[in-house]
Amino acid sequence: MEKNTVLLIGLGLIGGSIALGIKRKHEKCRIIGYDLNENQLKLAETLKVIDESSTDLASSATEADLIVIATPVVQTENIIDQLMGLQLKKNVIITDVGSTKKKVVDIARNKLGGKAVFIGGHPMAGSHKSGVTAARAHLFENAFYLLVPAEGENSSDSVEKLKGWLEGTGAVFVVMDEKEHDRLVGIISHFPHVLAASLVNYVADEDQAKGTLSRFAAGGFRDITRIASSSPEMWRDILLHNREVLLSLLDQWDEELGKIKELIKDENSQGILDYFTRSKQFRDRLPGRSKGAIPSFYDLYVDVEDEPGVIASITKLLAEEKISITNIRIIETREDIMGVLRVSFRSETDRQEAQKKLGPYYETYLDK
Structure confidence by residue, pLDDT tens digits, 345-361: 877 888 889 999 888 88
Q: How confident is the model at residue 333 (pLDDT cuts 50, 70, 90)?
A: very low
Q: List domains and CATH numbers for the chain.
A: 5-176 (3.40.50.720), 181-285 (1.10.3660.10), 298-366 (3.30.70.260)
pLDDT value, residue 221: 78
CA angle at 59 for the pair 57 and 62, rounded to the nearest 5°:
100
Range scoring the smallest mean pLDDT among 63-67, 310-314, 334-338: 334-338
Amino acid at 61: A
Structure confidence by residue, pLDDT tens digits, 26-83: 989 999 999 988 888 999 999 999 999 998 999 999 999 999 999 988 899 999 999 9
pLDDT value, residue 208: 80
Q: How confident is the model at residue 206 (pLDDT cuts 50, 70, 90)?
A: confident
Over residues 281-290, the mean pLDDT reads 77
Do the bridges between strand 363-366 and strand 325-330 make them parallel or antiparallel, or are there none, so unpaired? Answer: unpaired
CA atoms lying within 13 Å on the CB side of residue 336:
9
pLDDT value, residue 291: 64
Helices (H), the chain: 13-25, 38-46, 57-63, 73-84, 102-112, 156-166, 178-185, 191-210, 213-216, 219-224, 232-241, 243-265, 269-285, 310-320, 348-358
Over residues 277-285, the mean pLDDT reads 91
Over residues 225-238, the mean pLDDT reads 86
* Average pLDDT of every residue of the chain: 87
Q: How confident is the model at residue 335 (pLDDT cuts 50, 70, 90)?
A: very low
pLDDT value, residue 346: 78
Q: How confident is the model at residue 293 (pLDDT cuts 50, 70, 90)?
A: low
Q: What is the pTM of this model?
A: 0.80
- Three-state DSSP at 49 gives coil
Percent of the chain scoring above 90 in pLDDT: 53
Evaluate whether 51 touches 30 at the Cβ level (below 8 Å): yes
CA trace torsion 275, 280, 282, 283 (10° rounding): 140
Evaluate whether 321 touches 302 at the Cβ level (below 8 Å): no
Is 266's pLDDT higher than 90? yes
Give the sheet arrangement for strand 172-175, strand by strand.
52-54, 30-34, 5-9, 66-69, 93-96, 117-123, 144-149, 172-175
pLDDT value, residue 1: 41
Q: Helices 232-241 and 243-265: crossing angle, nearest 10°?
A: 100
Over residues 76-95, the mean pLDDT reads 92
Give the total residue count for the chain.
368
Is 207's pLDDT higher than 90? no
Structure confidence by residue, pLDDT tens digits, 111-140: 887 789 999 999 988 766 678 888 888 888
Amino acid at 246: L
Distances (CA, A) of 345 to 126, 136, 349: 14, 15, 9
- Return d(Cα 292, Cα 278) in angstroms, integer: 22
Q: How confident is the model at residue 331 (pLDDT cuts 50, 70, 90)?
A: low
